[in-house]
């Protein structure tokens, strides 16, 4: 994911019922997410942060988290 900081993705996952085990691991009911800070994405002089999100667990739980996370990201105010 681009342009969303790792700390904010962790917060969103916690709002969706997860519990932070560490800065980059969040565990929910029947799912687990690992957040990995990637190198900035760069186009010319523009640099945008990028975070990889890997979610594993029960398929229906992952689908629910994905839908809810997409909703949060879509309604997020830019800055």
Q: What is the pLDDT of residues 27-61, one digit of tens each?
A: 999 999 999 999 999 989 999 999 999 999 999 99
Comparison of pLDDT for 76 and 55, the residue scoring more: 55
C-alpha of 7 from chain center: 9
- The per-residue pLDDT for 77 is 66
CB 40 within 8 A of CB 47: yes
Alpha helix locations (H) across the chain?
6-15, 59-74
* Mean pLDDT for the chain overall: 93
Does domain 6-74 bear CATH number 3.30.1370.80?
yes
Mean pLDDT score, 15-21? 97
Provide the 8-state DSSP code for 79: -
């Amino acid at each position: 994911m681009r342009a969303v900081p790792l700390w904010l993705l962790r917060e969103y996952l916690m709002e969706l019922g997860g519990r932070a085990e560490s800065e980059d691991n969040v565990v929910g009911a029947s799912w687990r997410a690992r957040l990995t800070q990637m190198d900035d994405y760069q186009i010319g002089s523009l640099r945008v942060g990028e975070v990889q999100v890997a979610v594993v667990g029960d398929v229906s739980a992952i689908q629910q988290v994905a839908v809810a996370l997409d909703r949060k990201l879509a309604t997020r105010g830019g800055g």
